[in-house]
């Protein structure tokens, strides 16, 4: 993890929170091999209180003990049945009992409601500060570590990604970088087979069905909501559905979610899609593994001409 553990950076962070410093990182010189993608977090929550650390440890799918100030871990917020309600990065803040919870796509209200529904007598306060924060993804091996805000390894594409989340009072300009748009960022994510939560994996799905068990689940930490289901899935060794990369031909994909058929049988649905620069479209589809073979050709209607083929083996 890339952090900001220096004392002077914490001081700047608190000054920024109190609106005493603005526009201090303009411009930032970075390598021409680094790409920049600007984004707005769907969620950025500040959690503090004497019980914050223990409370989050008992709710999040990843191990948070030993998380140093400025570090972040990626994981999930599950239902009691182990279904994926939201995903996020949990960042350790500068103050002893302070954490920030940030997500690319999972709404702040969903995460906040999920947490607040389990606060009983805990000294935990949750504040939605999403509108006060901005994000930048720096893609490439030579991406620098920013000096203000939170920085951590992201989940965007096959290449290394460092996320920088900073107060919106800062105007961040980058000299020497190529800026990319949301379409290209989505294409890179789908090419890498990285699901967006809750679009590709959501409240009706298990983490393992989206291939998230390796990166988002700890099987060695103590209890958390949904942990028993995760333990059973680990002992079973497999699931009956998987999110797989697919390629389609034709002018474009129907608006997701779109049902997918193998002959007359519906075997799943297309969850997300983006035009392929080489023609057709790339997508992520949740598919039943019971009737699929690597050579399977799928259609968007029963017994229709197949237009979708698998990139990943089922």
Residue 121 lies in a domain: yes
**Contact status, residue 273 vs residue 248, Cβ threshold 8 Å:** yes
Task: Give the C-alpha distances (Å, rounded to integers) separating 94 from 45, 63, 69, 103, 113.
Answer: 15, 19, 6, 19, 25
pLDDT of 87-133, one tens digit each? 999 999 988 899 999 999 999 999 999 999 999 999 999 999 999 99
Nearest residue to 146 (alpha-carbon basis) of 34, 279, 280, 65? 34
CATH number at residue 271: 2.40.30.160
| Residue 66 shares a structural domain with residue 154 | yes
Domain interval for residue 52: 7-191
Sequence-distant (6+) residues with CB within 8 A of 100 are 44, 45, 46, 47, 90, 91, 93, 150, 165
| Residue 22 shares a structural domain with residue 170 | yes
**Contact status, residue 25 vs residue 169, Cβ threshold 8 Å:** no
Residue 216 lies in a domain: no
Residue 173 has pLDDT above 80, yes or no: no
Residue 210 lies in a domain: no
Nearest residue to 286 (alpha-carbon basis) of 313, 305, 259, 263? 259
Which residues does residue 261 pair with via DSSP β-bridges, in sequence order? 266, 299
pTM: 0.88
Cα–Cα distance, 185 to 150 (Å, whole number) = 21
Helix (H, G, I), strand (E, B) or coil at 294: coil
Pairing between β-strand 265-275 and β-strand 161-167 as defined by DSSP bridges: unpaired
**Contact status, residue 153 vs residue 145, Cβ threshold 8 Å:** no
**Residue 93 φ then ψ, to 5°:** -85, -175
Strand order in the sheet with 125-128: 72-78, 84-92, 99-103, 43-48, 125-128
| Residue 29 shares a structural domain with residue 130 | yes
| Residue 248 shares a structural domain with residue 185 | no
Q: CA 146, 176, 180, 160 torsion: positive or negative? A: negative
What one-character-per-residue DSSP string does 223-269 give? Answer: --TTHHHHHHHHHH---SEEEEEEEE-SS-PPSSSEEEEETTEEEEE
Domain boundary among 163, 191, 219: 191
Residue 237 has pLDDT above 80, yes or no: no
Residue 23 has pLDDT above 90, yes or no: no
CATH number at residue 58: 3.30.1360.120
Q: How many CB atoms lie within 10 A of CB 300?
A: 19
- Is the omega angle on the peptide bond into residue 124 within 30 degrees of 0, that is, cis? no
Residue 174 has pLDDT above 90, yes or no: no
pLDDT of 50-88, one tens digit each? 999 999 999 999 999 999 888 899 999 999 999 999 999
């Amino acid at each position: 993890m890339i952090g900001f553990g220096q004392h002077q950076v914490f001081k700047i962070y608190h000054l920024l929170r109190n609106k005493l410093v603005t526009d201090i990182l303009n411009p930032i010189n970075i390598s021409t091999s680094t790409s920049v993608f600007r984004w707005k977090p769907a969620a950025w929550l500040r959690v503090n209180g004497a019980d914050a650390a223990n409370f989050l440890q008992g709710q999040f799918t990843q191990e948070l003990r030993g998380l140093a100030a400025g570090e972040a871990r990626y994981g999930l917020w599950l239902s009691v049945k182990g279904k994926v309600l939201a995903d996020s990065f949990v960042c350790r803040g500068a103050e002893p009992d302070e954490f920030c919870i940030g997500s690319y796509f999972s709404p702040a209200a969903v995460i906040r409601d999920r947490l607040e529904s389990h606060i009983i007598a805990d000294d935990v306060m949750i504040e939605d500060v999403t509108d006060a924060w901005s994000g930048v993804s720096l893609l490439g091996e030579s991406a620098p570590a920013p000096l203000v805000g939170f920085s951590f390894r992201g989940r965007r594409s096959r290449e290394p990604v460092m996320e920088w989340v900073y107060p919106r009072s800062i105007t961040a300009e980058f000299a020497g970088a190529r800026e990319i748009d949301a379409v290209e960022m989505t294409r890179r994510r789908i090419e890498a087979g990285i699901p967006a939560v809750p679009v590709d994996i959501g409240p009706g799905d298990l983490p393992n069905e989206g291939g998230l068990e390796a990166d988002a689940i700890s099987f060695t930490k103590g209890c958390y909501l949904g942990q028993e289901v995760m333990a059973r899935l680990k002992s079973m060794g497999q699931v009956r559905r998987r999110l797989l990369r697919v390629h389609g031909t034709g002018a474009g994909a129907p608006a997701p979610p779109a049902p997918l058929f193998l002959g007359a049988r519906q075997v799943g649905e297309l969850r997300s899609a983006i035009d392929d620069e080489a023609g057709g479209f790339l997508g992520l589809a949740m598919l039943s593994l019971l009737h699929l073979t690597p050579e399977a050709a799928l259609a968007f209607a029963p017994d229709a001409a197949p237009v979708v083929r698998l990139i990943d083996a089922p």
